[in-house]
Amino acid sequence: MTAPFTYTANPSRVIFGSGTLARVGEEIERLGLDRVMILTTPYQAEEGQRLAAQLGDRAAGVFGEAAMHTPVDVTERALAEFERSGAAGIVSLGGGSTIGLGKAIALRNDAPQLAVPTTYAGSEMTPIVGQTENERKTTQRTPKVLPETVVYDVDLTLHLPREMTVTSGINAIAHAVEAIYAEGANPVLGLMAEEGIGALMSAIGRLGEEGMGADPEARSDALYGAWLCAVCLGQGGVALHHKLCHVLGGTFDLPHAQTHTVILPHALAYNAPAVPDAMEQLKRATGSASPAAAFYDLAADAGVPTSLRELGMPEDGIDQAVEIALENPYYNPRPLEPEPMRDLLAAAWAGERPA
């Protein structure tokens, strides 16, 4: 018997393929926008300038200061530049930091957004915005921040560096893992989660130790899997894993994707006893009897960080992180208790492989 559930689809237009960056101009026109401001990180500012040249008069300028965890002071500078430029909308070209900045601007002025993801982070498919101020990261959920159009271009991911490929891929996988047992779990998201996790794990494995851009089919499958995982995050919900990552990122300024990579195996191991049905789905998706260990091994085999210590978190910050995480109650299938949570973070700090 299928249990009762509620399913709400988020309204967004998705264009997926290779060479689809060329369609950004027609999508801007479709949205009825005369001029748009392009957002990037400093690292991708040159790509933003090339897109501006492609758009011609439709480009109102490039703001290249997007930063991890969406600092409020950066958003305020971007908002001032948006108003000065006379832009009517936003094109966010980049990963989670850039798309997060676009969402933070839209939260304040309702500007239409077109997102062009270049990693597997998934922020483009969610009505969730996170912001950091005074070393605290807060999130809110509102349809105001959901991009109207998302253009996935596989070509933009062909040369994504190995560490970013693996860590942003595992970051995406984490969205689907929690959607399976989050408060808003339902059969539709369960199917998407299994498919997305399986596609990403297979693609990352096929990309192998060398030639990360040499397999366009694997890159296409990875981006497809990331899209499905992002839909899971946008339409489902989150639990302990995402809460801890927000606390660690906002408090200790840890890199976003790498933090998700480290925490996922341990958060899943914490919740596993409380979600037997979800674990069966994850066993099918990963092809492993121990999904938590499979996620750890995926990172370890790729040579990316598997411990909070490697990311620069001080060991004496563990108790502080637990305290902050417990300040505001939130849904999790297993009760949140200080000592088990401290054990979870201690294992993640040391980089221990879950049993």
CATH superfamily of 162-350: Dehydroquinate synthase-like - alpha domain (1.20.1090.10)
Percent of the chain with pLDDT over 90: 83
247-279 pLDDT, tens digit each: 999 899 999 899 999 999 999 999 999 999 999
Confidence of residue 209 (pLDDT cuts 50, 70, 90): low
For residue 269, the tally of other CB atoms under 10 A from its CB is 22
Say what the pLDDT of residue 134 is.
85
Question: Is the pLDDT reported for residue 13 higher than 80?
Answer: yes
Say what the pLDDT of residue 328 is.
83
Say what the pLDDT of residue 9 is.
77
Widest CA span in the chain: 58
297-327 pLDDT, tens digit each: 999 999 999 999 999 999 999 999 999 999 9
What is the C-alpha separation between 195 and 191, in angstroms, rounded? 6
Question: Is the pLDDT reported for residue 211 higher than 60?
Answer: no
Question: Is the pLDDT reported for residue 212 higher than 70?
Answer: no
Structure token digits, residue 78: 């971007």
Indicate the domain borders of the chain.
13-157, 162-350
Asked if the domains at 13-157 and 162-350 fall in one CATH topology, the answer is no
SS3 per residue for 319-355: HHHHHHHCCCCCCCCCCCCHHHHHHHHHHHHHCCCCC
Confidence of residue 3 (pLDDT cuts 50, 70, 90): confident
Say what the pLDDT of residue 214 is.
67
Structure token digits, residue 183: 């408060």
Confidence of residue 346 (pLDDT cuts 50, 70, 90): very high
Say what the pLDDT of residue 213 is.
61
Say what the pLDDT of residue 135 is.
78
Question: Is the pLDDT reported for residue 111 higher than 80?
Answer: yes
Q: Which residues lie closer than 8 Å to 192 by C-beta, 6 or more apart?
A: 176, 179, 228, 229, 231, 232
* Averaged pLDDT, 25-41: 97
Question: Is the pLDDT reported for residue 10 higher than 60?
Answer: yes
152-172 pLDDT, tens digit each: 999 999 989 889 999 999 999
Say what the pLDDT of residue 8 is.
74
For residue 9, the tally of other CB atoms under 10 A from its CB is 9
Averaged confidence pLDDT in the chain? 94
Architecture of domain 13-157: 3-Layer(aba) Sandwich (3.40)
Question: Is the pLDDT reported for residue 25 higher than 70?
Answer: yes
Q: Which residues lie closer than 8 Å to 106 by C-beta, 6 or more apart?
A: 90, 112, 113, 144, 145
Percent of the chain with pLDDT over 70: 98
Say what the pLDDT of residue 355 is.
82
* Phi and psi, residue 117, nearest 5°: -70, 140
